[in-house]
Structure 1
């Protein structure tokens, strides 16, 4: 009789192939064997033998591990998330049961930071206006406004998250002057990151590009609203690859519609949004469909982190990316 599954990946088949190389998938099977069972990928947790499951690998769309779910998983000891935020499923009951929780958000930081850098350069050089103007039949009459280099440009980074720090490294490598807004850091810590610690209002007033990388917390809802957008100088641009929660989308649309500001956005209040949404037609806007983290390398990095964590768990070693109850208050 084949061993019952003790490590279960509740991950769609196509997405599993994006996350896990053949070698890392084999590592999951090896870890399961060391835990006394087998590994299986399923579309739903009910498709496994829940009484024996010790490790569950999750992806986006997983439901909460509430009391009813946990009652069917008496041996559950670890939930390893292939994404970043665990708030959708990490319940109080999960932590009360002593289940370890880990995630692979570190694997996404470089991918998202590169898109943020791409957005930054595009806004500085007025690529959205020129691209949209040419598509509409124009040429130099597109009215693109002043173009700028990133060298010595004041760039504001709102939030020293993993992605925010990765973005900081990239813009600094190209010679930008980094302004950092993060209430959890002091000036020495910001300086160690190569940035000047400033208030939000100061950053918005001084920056040519404002890049948002803060977590989605109650106090960060519409952190950038009408008042804040009005502080940004004419010709400045806003980059958001974090969450739409952080920016008042309607206020941003109103500002961009006037031509005073430009924007590059990967995250939206409604996803997907309708064909008539104003963001689709505004000339100073660059849009991507919430795919900033979707690189081949980033996906495989996320899977590798999960495989590493499960390998360490099977060997009784500490986990490098563990999340405890206290982390939930300050993470996205």
Structure 2
């Protein structure tokens, strides 16, 4: 039988209720003593709780794990983040001390991919344009996005054409966890998928049923471009004015990843022309300001950074965390471990 361990769970009451179902809490309690901290950002409370603790479960708003905080961690061997990105609180000191790290971000991959797919279908079928037109009192022939001058003159047939997913060229930027889920859905539904990811090998692309390509070629040939790349220095504004200009008339940009990837000013210019469409779940400023001009554009579909916000996603985060602790306590390999090197390539 595995040795009883001291586990600190640093999460607000609302987060615990949303993520850790009674079954998940029972699994944690079976591992050992669970000490609960209601404020994950309280460094003093965490330092007071760390002595003798072997496992720390973190959550949204976690305090940075600096050398000062970890000085009290005399027995800490595992940090299990019960959400996705750990970049906002993880430090090199964690790895220097040989503490292992795991996280539950895999739970978010499918729901975000589903929203990306929903966005893709909406863009291809112009659902967002028709919805805007119908609310404004119009009908099919009125579903035309105005140009920056307010005129619809010169709007090409390609801008208004509807397309099905089967046979449409879809470009995926980033074969991340979410990108892979999205790719699998697209391939299953018959889309012609190309992927830009410098880490994707030709062999892996063939396994997925897609083709690797350059970013420029992807932009030139895709009806929908979906972003699933990580937040890294080299990906900042990787989609700028030059890249957007490569997209054909009537193409659409889908972003459920990070606004970091896109030059927002350049995108707004293209969207105001009515030449391309977009579906966006992420923004430079959140909440999106009420007077942001993108809110007024009929060729843009907007959601308030909620792509991962399903009940099932949150509960799965708790289940993944409990399963990882069970594996750790019985000496089994972790399924979602993060190394220091891998962390540098993640959002």
Category of TM-score, reference length = shorter chain:
over 0.9
Residue aligning to 1:40: 36
Kindly provide the CA deviation profile for residues 64-99 of structure 1, in whole angstroms up to 9, marking residues without a partner as x.
Answer: 100111113322221111222211111011111111
Off by >3 Å, runs of 4+ in structure 1: none
- Conserved in 1, the CA contact under 8 Å of 2:5 and 2:31? no
Q: How far does residue 275 in structure 1 lie from its aligned partner after superposition?
A: 0.6
TM-score, normalised via structure 1 length: 0.94
Q: How does 1:169-248 map to 2 (within 5 A)?
A: 169-248=184-263
* Residue 276 of structure 2, aligned match among 233, 253, 261: 261
Distance 1:274 1:109 in 2: 27
Residue aligning to 1:24: 24
Distance 2:206 2:331 in 1: 38
SS of 2:279's partner is strand
- Conserved in 1, the CA contact under 8 Å of 2:112 and 2:307? yes
Q: How far does residue 173 in structure 1 lie from its aligned partner after superposition?
A: 1.5
User: Structure 1 residue 309 and structure 2 residue 330: aligned?
Assistant: no
Q: CA RMSD in A?
A: 1.6
Q: Which stretch of structure 1 is more off in the superposition, 154-163 or 129-138?
A: 129-138
Q: Which stretch of structure 1 is more off in the superposition, 292-301 or 152-161?
A: 292-301
Distance 2:191 2:216 in 1: 19
Unaligned runs of 5+ in 2: 145-159
Residue aligning to 2:60: 60
Unaligned runs of 5+ in 1: none
SS of 1:108's partner is helix
From the superposition, tell whether residues 154 and 213 of structure 1 become closer, same or farther in structure 2 (CA, over 3 Å).
Answer: same
TM-score, normalised via structure 2 length: 0.90
Residue aligning to 2:178: 163
User: Structure 1 residue 287 and structure 2 residue 302: aligned?
Assistant: yes
- Conserved in 2, the CA contact under 8 Å of 1:172 and 1:178? yes
Distance 1:249 1:5 in 2: 48
Distance 1:101 1:239 in 2: 31
- Conserved in 2, the CA contact under 8 Å of 1:79 and 1:101? yes
Q: Which stretch of structure 1 is more off in the superposition, 203-212 or 291-300?
A: 291-300
Q: Which stretch of structure 1 is more off in the superposition, 305-314 or 45-54?
A: 45-54
For these two proteins, the number of residue pairs brought into alignment is 325
Distance 1:38 1:86 in 2: 22
- Conserved in 1, the CA contact under 8 Å of 2:11 and 2:36? no
Q: Which stretch of structure 1 is more off in the superposition, 135-144 or 199-208?
A: 135-144
Residue aligning to 1:118: 118
SS of 1:51's partner is coil
Distance 1:311 1:5 in 2: 11
Residue aligning to 2:344: 329
Distance 2:219 2:207 in 1: 22
